Structure 1
């Protein structure tokens, strides 16, 4: 989130409306009022930025920031850069990331031409040579693979590889997963239009069902290691089995339960919520 780094559990609380403040020790403000930051839960908007004395913090502030207590909030602020002033940042959930809808839009002929020209400009501007189509094809070939492994396959360092993928994501051509990436329908349309040989064309159709929600890399890795990639498969496990997996914490469990409730599913040892 730019200057306001937030954990997944805090982002989920902002989306739910349970948290609307953050406190940070900065040498100067690192965000501006009105800025909308793209996060894993959608857009989060900065509604206020104020420098405040530590002694002015209250229990209500701690509660609105998601801290267990005022003492815990103050201790957290004193843990790092205790010599810097404290800033109180107001936050609100501002809706779905527009790139989410863009990824699903298959471009028409005019859009395809514009996207291809944009990709060509990126390739011409690169000091290391063309990379756009190779990156799209690699992500298509190896979805949900760690960025360092993909970067190695391309002979790139991880940081520059991620920066390049971020450019493609801005145009809705790729999507970030808890681990790695995948090609969007929009990105697939571009490759298909240009006639690139795609390994995904020869793959069998993915197993039908509801994909796992964003759970964090650890939880996703633990479930996929068991071959669990759909909510319907989670419903074949007990709550205790899932909770015992290494990497599955309270945030992942809450996200799973919310997604399963919405789909009318339940853990194996819990009553089904479907009507």
Structure 2
């Protein structure tokens, strides 16, 4: 579930506590935790509603300037039912703090290196983790399709690989492209030194 940029501050400060989406079937369920650009957001409830029952207050709680604006947003997609999603902000994305930890202890570093080795062994394209980290380190802010082209792979699999690195706190998404994190630099140095 994606949230537009204009909602990020409201999600973080708790003024946005609802979302309305038109889906053929619910794409989230109660208990789901979503990592967003604003931080971690918990889904507390999901239910189908009649668009005519949505109030002006609910529209504002969903980050819309008015009920009319929300209804126009929902009308842009005609298939599916309207779902009301109750949200609660839980806090910062834990990967943010992880990315900044440039000095993992020996056990933590060994665990990350072992995970990267498993990624490399499982890949049908062969080892990729060190090469992708180096590519991102050398090319911050470069579009994913351009980086994928330099690797000779399609964009979608390249992005999937980068997401694996991001989960470990090694990279960070920028408005365009990526950058390597302080933790990622430490791990890359260990990979390149053969540690």
Task: Please tell me the TM-score bracket, short chain as reference.
Answer: over 0.9
Identify the residue that residue 101 of structure 1 maps to in structure 2: 97
User: Which consecutive unaligned segments of at least 5 residues does structure 2 have?
Assistant: none
Identify the residue that residue 210 of structure 1 maps to in structure 2: none
Residues 15 and 92 of structure 1 are in contact (CA less than 8 Å); yes or no, is this contact kept in structure 2?
no
Question: For the residues of structure 2 that align with 1:32 and 1:180, how far apart are their CA atoms?
Answer: 30
Identify the residue that residue 92 of structure 1 maps to in structure 2: 88
Identify the residue that residue 190 of structure 2 maps to in structure 1: 193
User: Which consecutive unaligned segments of at least 5 residues does structure 1 have?
Assistant: 198-275
CA root-mean-square deviation: 1.6
What TM-score comes out, normalization by structure 2 length?
A: 0.92
* Cα distance per residue 1:207-242 (max 9 Å; x no partner): xxxxxxxxxxxxxxxxxxxxxxxxxxxxxxxxxxxx
Identify the residue that residue 130 of structure 1 maps to in structure 2: 127
Question: For the residues of structure 1 that align with 2:74 and 2:187, how far apart are their CA atoms?
Answer: 47
Moved beyond 4 Å, runs of 4+: none
* Cα distance per residue 1:17-59 (max 9 Å; x no partner): 2221111111111101121111112111112111111221111
1:149 aligned to 139, 142, 146, which one? 146
Identify the residue that residue 255 of structure 1 maps to in structure 2: none
Identify the residue that residue 40 of structure 1 maps to in structure 2: 37
Identify the residue that residue 158 of structure 1 maps to in structure 2: 155
Question: For the residues of structure 2 that align with 1:84 and 1:119, how far apart are their CA atoms?
Answer: 41
1:1-275 equivalence runs, <5 A: 4-81=1-78, 83-105=79-101, 106-196=103-193
Which structure would you say has the larger Rg? 1
